[in-house]
Every structure is written in C-alpha cells, then in structure tokens.
C-alpha cells in the first residue's frame, strides 16, 4: 500500500529523532513512574531545540546511504559514518575507537574489531536501523539481509548484529501492516538468530503486569533490561512499542523505563511511528528537536525509493 509507506516513513524517522533528542537528557537515569516520566518530558520541552545524538546522526547517514546503495555497501557505509561523525554527539566508547581506525585507513572488517575483538554487542547498529525498515518493510527476507550488512562496519558481534536485524524487522512489520502488537513480539522471538534476542523477545511477549501493582517500569528494566547492550534494550523497545497506543505514549513509557533512555525511546517511537504514521507523532515533540526538517525530507526520499520498486 503506497499510502501506508508514505505515512510510515516520516513516522519511523521522526520517531527515531524525537525519541533520541527528548530521551537524551535522561540517558543513564533510573526507571521511574509515569507521572515523573511526564515531568521528564516537560523539562526536556522547556528548553529547545533539543540536540539529537549519535542515534539520529547515524540514522541520517544510513538513510542517505540507502538512497545510493539500497542493498548497503559496508565500505561505503563506513565512509558515510566516518564523514558524519561529530565526537560530541554522545557516541559509545567503542565507536570512538572504530572512528579513529577508519581515519587511520584500517579496512572496514579490521576496524570493526579494534575496540572488542569479538565485535560490539552494543545497541548502536539497532538504534540507527529505522531507514532500512522503511526501505525494505515490504520484503522481509531482503530486509534482514540488508540490516545485517548495515551492522558490519561497527557491530560484528552476533548479538549486536541480531539486535539490528530484530529492530529492522520490527519497524518493517509496522511499515507493512500499519500496526505493532504483542503478537509481533512472539513472532519476532521465533525469527531471532541468537538465543539472547530470542529469550528477551519471548520474555517481552509474555510479560504481564497487573495494573494494581502500579507502573511496570522498574520490573521491565529489571527483567527485559534498559542497558546499552542490544539484548538488554531491543526487546524492551519492542515491548514499549507493542504496549503503547500511540507514539506519544511510547515516548512517555521509554522515559519511564530509563537507562539507555535516548536509544530505547528512539527505537520504540520509531516502531510506533511507523505503525501509526508521521501525523501521529505529536508536532510539539517534532518541533522541539534539532534537525526535524532534514529528517522529514530524507524520510520522503526514502519513501520514494521504496515505492520505486525492488529493481533499484
């Protein structure tokens, strides 16, 4: 459905931006109640524009790359990440070392192992993946293949790569179906390549929390995780997306879960935004973020590319 892709593209990319920029002040915060999460959001909105961080910077670079390389070329993508890199955007420690290795001319595959010999299992390849969900949401098999390739410059650890594939599949499902529910969590668990992601998603799919116990945020952070590792944040973001009625609620829930707040919010609001469309992402949140016109423009270009056919 072309109209769905046109709506989903800005939803997914603006969702990444809003979650990142409004979650960033609370990266590293403990989980809290919904009421206090509302306070976190109000304080973020009180001083604008909110700068985006590495999550959006890399998503923008990946989106631009996809326009010229729809199936992803890891060497060219590494060069795009290198050129976009601004060190003050809050990158992970391993990313600074990989960037230096690129600057020193190390081949992509070697640079990907300079920080951690087995590769990074951080959520950095997942946090930036929404453009691939938009571009390939109509073709799940190709989507998984392209998502895995997009992780190669920075996240060659199987868990880091699988986190990226799972998050791409989640956005892709939301793009293709215009919805995202707990049933999707169970299906994503079955498709996961690693035990770590499969376990986290299965736990997310079966998580039950009686309303009488109050907000689930502490229990979610404990059981599913809210840390920087892919298997401790991607299932959490998928759970937030599946249990929120709209992108605004996903933003609040992610602020409540805390921990790697910018990244969990970026991933959760991207999925919810893809499912509900760009119009469903509150304008007040979008307008508060640095770079929203640029993100909107590249989302439209990506939708054009996705609708242009698979031959590209």
Tell me which residues touch ligand F2R (CB under 6 A).
27, 53-55, 90-95, 116, 118, 120-124, 127, 157, 228-229, 260, 262-263
For Mg ion, what does the binding mask look like between residues 58 and 97, x meaning CB under 5 A? Answer: -----------x---x----------------x-------
70/160 with CB nearer ligand F2R: 160
Close Cβ partners of 24 (under 8 Å, ≥ 6 residues apart): 50, 51, 52, 53, 90, 261, 262
Binding partner selected for residue 121 from Mg ion, ligand F2R, none, CB under the kind-specific 5 to 8 Å limit: ligand F2R
116/136 with CB nearer ligand F2R: 116
Q: If you count them, how many residues does the chain have?
A: 312
Give ∠ CA 87-90-91 in degrees, rounded to 5.
70
Binding partner selected for residue 92 from ligand F2R, Mg ion, none, CB under the kind-specific 5 to 8 Å limit: ligand F2R
Binding partner selected for residue 184 from ligand F2R, Mg ion, none, CB under the kind-specific 5 to 8 Å limit: none
Report the alpha-carbon distance of residue 162 to residue 200 in Å, rounded: 12
92/248 with CB nearer ligand F2R: 92
DSSP per-residue letters across 237-297:
HHHHHHH-SSHHHHHHHHHHH-BSHHHHHHHHHHHHHHHH-GGGS-HHHHHTBTTHHHHHH
Shortest distance in whole angstroms from residue 255 CB to ligand F2R: 15
Nearest CA-CA partner of 85 in 60, 121, 113, 115: 60
* Out of 16, 50, 55, 225, the residue judged to bind Mg ion by CB under 5 A: 55
* CA dihedral of 162, 20, 238, 250, whole degrees rounded to 10: 180
Shortest distance in whole angstroms from residue 96 CB to ligand F2R: 8
Q: Where does this chain bind Mg ion (CB under 5 A)? A: 53-55, 69, 73, 90, 260, 262-263
């Amino acid at each position: 459905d072309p109209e769905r892709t046109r709506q989903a593209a800005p939803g997914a990319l603006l969702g990444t931006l809003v979650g990142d920029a409004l979650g960033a002040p609370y990266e590293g915060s403990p989980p809290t109640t919904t009421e206090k999460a509302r306070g976190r959001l109000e304080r973020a909105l009180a001083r604008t524009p909110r700068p985006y961080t590495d999550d959006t910077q890399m998503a923008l670079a990946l989106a631009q790359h996809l326009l010229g390389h729809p199936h992803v070329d890891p060497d060219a993508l590494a060069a795009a990440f290198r050129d976009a890199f601004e060190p003050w955007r809050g990158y992970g420690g391993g990313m600074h070392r990989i960037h230096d290795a690129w600057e020193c001319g190390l081949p992509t595959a070697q640079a990907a192992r300079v920080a951690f010999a087995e590769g990074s299992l951080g959520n950095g390849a997942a946090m930036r993946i929404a453009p691939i969900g938009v571009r390939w949401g109509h073709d799940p098999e190709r989507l998984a293949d392209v998502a895995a390739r997009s992780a190669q410059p920075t996240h060659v650890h199987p868990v880091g790569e699988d986190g990226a594939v799972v998050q791409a599949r989640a956005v892709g499902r939301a793009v293709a179906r215009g919805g995202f529910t707990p049933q999707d969590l169970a299906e994503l668990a079955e498709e996961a390549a690693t035990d770590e992601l499969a376990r986290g998603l299965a736990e997310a799919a079966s998580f039950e929390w009686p309303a009488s116990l109050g907000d689930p945020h502490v229990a979610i952070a404990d059981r599913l995780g809210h840390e920087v590792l892919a298997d401790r944040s991607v299932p959490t973001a998928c759970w937030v997306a599946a249990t929120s009625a709209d992108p605004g609620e996903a933003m609040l829930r992610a602020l409540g879960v805390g921990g790697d707040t910018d990244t969990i919010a970026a991933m959760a609001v991207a999925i919810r935004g893809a499912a509900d469309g760009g119009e469903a992402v509150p304008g007040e949140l979008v307008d508060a973020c640095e770079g929203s016109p640029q993100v909107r423009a590249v989302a439209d270009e990506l939708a054009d590319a996705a609708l242009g056919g698979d031959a590209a």
